[in-house]
Amino acid sequence: MFAAENGLKGDPRLKGISDSITVVPHFPKPGIMFQDITTLLSNPKAFKDTIDIFVDRYRDMDISVVAGIEARGFMFAPTIALAIGAKFIPLRKPGKLPGEVISEAYELEYGKDRLEMHVGAVQRGDRALVIDDLVATGGTLSAATRLLERVGAEVVECACVIGLPEVKVIQILLL
């Protein structure tokens, strides 16, 4: 569900957030319309509004873990976790975390990949929120959900700033 369908219809913050995201045609390859969030991150008002929308939604949901998906989910997840009193857990690409990890494979439009997290980072019964910058096919979010559920966490929701194919702002995916 998009933010406008989630009680935020007409909220002027959504336009400011949307306007602060730059679309770069044909990057990183022809046919891709890259959603550049660096312009959102460099706009303090739009960045704060983005975080505030997520915090307003999740502060009273007893979330104990906010899992951020590498790499751009890392831009939002730690701040949200701090604001709602939850711990931040990075979900990384293979080989980026030291120590013992568990992993989950997933399919991409252009191949396969894996997400990893530290063993013991999430406990059975933790209530998890998964954050990423963008959802296109949902494959990465699905892998993150499976990974967290394998260790006994309850994934409450997955949330992204941008949803495709019709690019809208602040997409909350209810699982």
In angstroms, rounded to a whole number, what is the distance separating the alpha carbons of residues 161 and 114?
Answer: 22
Active site residue 72: yes
Give the pair of three-digit tokens for residue 82: 């701090």
- Taking Cα atoms as reference points, which of 57, 92, 87, 59 lies closest to residue 73? 92
Beta strand 87-91 pairing with 154-163 = unpaired
Catalytic residue among 13, 57, 72, 92: 72
Q: Which two tokens stand for residue 163?
A: 């949803």
Give, in order, the Cα–Cα distances in Å from 44 to each of 20, 23, 35.
10, 19, 18
The residues pairing with 90 across neighbouring beta strands, listed in sequence order, are 68
The residue annotated as part of the active site, out of 100, 109, 124, 166, is 109
Which spans in 35-173 are helix H? Answer: 38-41, 44-58, 77-84, 139-150
154 as an active site residue: the answer is no
Angle (nearest 5°) at CA 111 between 97 and 133: 60
Q: Which residues are catalytic?
A: 72, 109
